[in-house]
A = this chain, B = another copy of it.
Amino acid sequence: MSRFLSPTLEALTPYTPGEQPQDQQYIKLNTNESPYMPSPAVVAAVNEAEVEKLRLYSDPACAQLLRTAAAHFGLQPDQIMPGNGSDENLFFALRAFCDERHPLAYADITYGCYGVWCSLLHIPGNVIPLKEDFTLDPADYYGLGQTIVIANPNAPTGIALPREAIEGILQANPDNVVIVDEAYVDFGGESCVPLIDRYDNLLVVQTFSKSRQLAGARLGLAMGNAKLIADLNRVKFGMNPYNINRLTLKAGQAALEDTAYFDRTRAAVVETRNWTKQQLEARGFAVLDSRANFLFASTKRKDGGTLYKKLKENGVLVRHFDAPRIADWLRITIGTPQQMQGLLAALDKILEE
């Protein structure tokens, strides 16, 4: 760090994203991308004429995308805000609804960025342990008097809470915002979007990175009561009014409109996930009940760190986290059936060594 850095940043440990090798020599199952291309409608929408329009700023209000998203989710446009990836929306939400005197409650095993944002924004974190089996007890979140964020389904476990469990948390915290991070909801979770009109303290965050094949376009949607969304816009227009680029607005709109492709590809991922889970269990792995586009698995035959390294040596990238509770587990993104066969072949080889 330089001698000029603000002392308020000295304690910050930034997030370490999964490896993004640029040479494409791996079976890449480490950052929960879709194995399928974006919809042909996206490819058609991001065309030469749109590239030529890049000389013009994007619409800071994102009006056209909001109209499409509102129709898709059964909401009003003022109940939605796009972000430069759902990471940005989550950051905006934490800036809006937490501060040094208003803590954030979140699970010990969940998306790592929540803690990083608390550090960056100087928000006290209330870290609530998951149960021994990695499930979340909703009662742990009742009457906290704190802003809450819950990834549902959770990452990296893949375990989902039913909508009623989230509803109980909303009812038990009427004076605090409950953020539900639904990055993985399209692979078998129950979305809380239908609850938005009933709970003014509910903020749902979704992403186009997983089930809509647009990780590289950076687009997420925050959805909630219009007043909550106005608060997020206050932060956005205070920070970076033109946060979404023109081509991403077009790509996102086309992806939302092609619901048939969305349904076909997420069904394919779910089918491959179920098959892969069986295959891993047949090899003696413990595999959590995932409703996401990844599996969280461990085996007593090799520790997690070694298995990660051996898989990488064998051309398969998965994600391994150092946190003590999950150091023996691997998060494995669901790829194509062929990619999963490649994973299993590599595992068979490694476990026989």
A interface residue numbers (CB < 8 A to B): 1-9, 12, 14-17, 20, 22, 28, 31, 33-38, 42-43, 46, 48, 51-61, 63-64, 84-85, 87-88, 91, 95-99, 102, 116-117, 119-120, 147, 175-177, 200-201, 209, 213-218, 225, 227-228, 230-231, 233-248, 251
Contact = CB atoms under 8 A, between A and B. Distances in A.
Contact of A201 (B4, B31, B42): B4
A321 to B, nearest CB: 16
Given A2-B231, A6-B102, 19 more contacts: A1-B227, A14-B238, A15-B238, A17-B60, A20-B57, A22-B64, A38-B51, A38-B54, A42-B54, A43-B51, A46-B51, A55-B215, A56-B216, A58-B215, A85-B240, A85-B242, A91-B239, A116-B238, A245-B248
A228 B234 CA distance: 29
Given A60-B17, A245-B248, A4 B228 contact: yes
A200 B2 contact: yes
A233 B227 CA distance: 33
A22 B51 CA distance: 16
Contacts of A16: 237
List the number of copies, as a whole number.
2
Contacts of A241: 14-15, 17, 87
Contacts of A238: 9, 12, 14-15, 116-117, 119-120
Given A2-B231, A8-B99, A48-B43, A59 B22 contact: yes
Nearest to A34: B55
Contacts of A251: 51, 54
A191 B235 CA distance: 32
A60 B20 contact: yes
Given A14-B237, A176-B4, A243 B231 contact: no
A230 B55 contact: no
B99 A53 contact: no
Contacts of A246: 216-217
- Which 3 pairs of residues, A with B, have the shortest CB-CB distance? A14-B237, A216-B246, A2-B227
